[in-house]
Amino acid sequence: MILAVALAKLAAPPNAAPARPVVTARGPLLSADGRILAGGPLQARRYPHGSLAAPIVGFVGASGGLEGAERAYDGRLGRGEALTLTLDTRVQAAVERVLEDAVRRTDAQFASAVVMETRTGNLTAMASVPGFDLNRWPQVPPDRWRNRAALDEYEPGSVVKALTVAALLNEGRTTPDTVYDTPMWRRYAGATINDIVPHPGQLRTRQILRYSSNVGMTRLVEDVPPEVLHRYFSAYGFGRPVRLGLPTGDGLLRDPEDWGALSQATMAFGQGLTVTTLQLAAAFNVLANGGRYVAPRLVVGAPTGSRAVLSRATAASMREMLHGVIDEGIRAKAELPGYHVGGKTGTAQVAVDGRYSGEVFSSTFGGFVPAGQPRFTVAVMVRGAKREYQGSQLAAPIFRDVTSALLSLHAVRPDPGP
């Protein structure tokens, strides 16, 4: 026994150190304004900004990325490459703060918003609320991990009226001042179509947007072949996923062969098709960007592209009309003193258990600022607000507060003139 112990001591290396834990290097995830969103090795990954842009940044597990950019770009980050997102932490924080206040005030289920640079398509903010702390992700319900701005699909409501009118203007099927008979209700294709906001019995096209008239929209589309609207909706990016690098929803856009007179009319005012907030922002950006669709971009240096959807004249006409929607309609809710803004609200019933609910609504807004030469395009969605659920009451003030922060952060000068 004594001999065995002695031999064991001889075999053991002198001053043997305990085995060191394996450390796997991993590249940092950065924001466009130079902040570290995720850093450190795989086994000790840290997220210095906590909940900021959490569904976009994502998180890692023992063997690699599990959610968000950490998962989508796991290969590059795992090779030690740094990855820079187009997000601006100042803008992202401002948007999340505005959404959190709105959700808390109205007791809403959740909200999302997207901010795009009009010309480049760079996403400076993509927010989903409520969020979660990336450093404590295992303690959070998995539905909080969801990038709702890119994944949640919903019927957008009257915000789509602007995109429908743009298509018909571009086709020469109406003008801003074409007059239509618009009673407060109308029987159309076997259904009763109602308006909510009181208005005159005849409206120009621009006033159909101003009063958000469903009856007016039925007048606009009743002789339009389904293939025409379908072509434009598809060109706006509806019915297909945005190629972002991260998972995105494709929404629902039925083939034109499946459209009837009633379904075409309801889609023209935003029911019967579904979109994501990201898709809505990209579609409204067509109006802001001289009629060209610009692919949204999340990673700095990622390839992007653009395509013509509308003529420059049509886009300019729409910007002027949508400025009127704000200036003459919901000025108190969405205007920014000193700046011309343009946009459209929407409110849509949410289908619950296969039937439209009379209690659950999606409140939406799509718009841009400044309206004359837009720099930023913004889309907002809030679902399930218990109070102030109309788009003009809820989503429009969110747009106002978000764009106010944007213009301040970027020191954009007020518009000249009245």
Could you tell me where in the chain the CATH 3.40.710.10 domains are found?
Answer: 92-135+148-409
Query: What dotted CATH number matches 23-73?
Result: 3.90.1310.10
Write the single-letter amino acid at 29: L
Q: What distance in Å separates the CA atoms of residue 84 and residue 348, rounded to the nearest whole number?
A: 36
Q: Alpha helices, DSSP H only, in 258-391? A: 261-268, 277-288, 312-328, 331-334
Model pTM? Answer: 0.93
Tell me, what DSSP letter sits at residue 257?
Answer: G
CB atoms within 10 A of CB 51: 21
Report whether 166 contacts 145 (CB < 8 A).
Answer: no
Could you tell me where in the chain the CATH 3.90.1310.10 domains are found?
Answer: 23-73
Q: Alpha helices, DSSP H only, in 42-88? A: 54-57, 68-72, 74-78
Q: List the catalytic residues.
A: 158
Q: What distance in Å separates the CA atoms of residue 63 and residue 2, rounded to the nearest whole number?
A: 46
Q: At residue 224, what are phi and psi to the nearest 5 degrees?
A: -95, 125
| pLDDT score of 21 | 63
Query: Is domain 92-135+148-409 in CATH 3.40.640.10, yes or no?
Result: no
| pLDDT score of 240 | 97
Query: DSSP 3-state helix, strand, coil percentages of the chain (rounded to 5)?
Result: 35, 20, 40
SS3 225: coil
Report whether 125 contacts 410 (CB < 8 A).
Answer: no
- H/E stretch holding 399 reads helix 395-409
Cα-based distances in Å from 290 to 175, 277, 337, 371: 18, 21, 24, 12
- Transcribe 90-154 into DSSP letters: HHHHHHHHHHHHHHHHHT-SEEEEEEEETTT-BEEEEEEES---GGGGGGS-GGGG--HHHH--B
Blockwise average pLDDT, block size 10, the chain, 418 residues: 46 56 86 98 96 98 96 97 98 98 95 98 98 96 96 96 99 98 96 95 97 97 97 98 96 96 96 97 98 98 94 98 86 78 91 83 94 95 88 89 93 77
Report whether 360 contacts 349 (CB < 8 A).
Answer: yes
| pLDDT score of 356 | 85
Q: At residue 97, what are phi and psi to the nearest 5 degrees?
A: -65, -45
